[in-house]
């Protein structure tokens, strides 16, 4: 998957370079081209493609926490109140 990301960023860099070196182009338009055609789409694709891994990691953490609490001995000691009734 990362080879596609690298290739797409390469294309976006080449588009930005062409924009910057064009007669009517500018560095600012090249930066916006790279952000608009490179960083934003790649960031979105990576975020969407990593969602199953995030879900598995979250479920594993929840399962580990549940197992940790299940192995902890339950204490049923009642707490006594030491508060005085001075009103």
**pLDDT digits 0-9 by tens, 3-23:** 999 999 999 999 999 999 999
Q: What is the pLDDT of residue 72?
A: 78
- Which of 21, 16, 20, 18 shows the shortest CA–CA distance to 39? 16
Is residue 82 pLDDT above 90, yes or no?
no
Q: 64-76 burial by CB neighbour count: b if 16+ within 10 A, else e?
A: eeeeeeeeeeeee
């Amino acid at each position: 998957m990362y080879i596609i990301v690298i290739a797409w960023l390469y294309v976006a860099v080449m588009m930005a370079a062409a924009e910057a070196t064009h007669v009517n182009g500018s560095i600012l338009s090249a930066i916006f081209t790279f952000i608009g055609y490179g960083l934003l789409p790649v960031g979105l694709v990576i975020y969407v493609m990593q969602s199953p891994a995030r879900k598995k990691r979250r479920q594993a953490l929840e399962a580990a926490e549940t197992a940790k609490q299940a192995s902890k001995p339950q204490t049923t000691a009642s707490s006594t109140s030491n508060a005085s009734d001075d009103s």
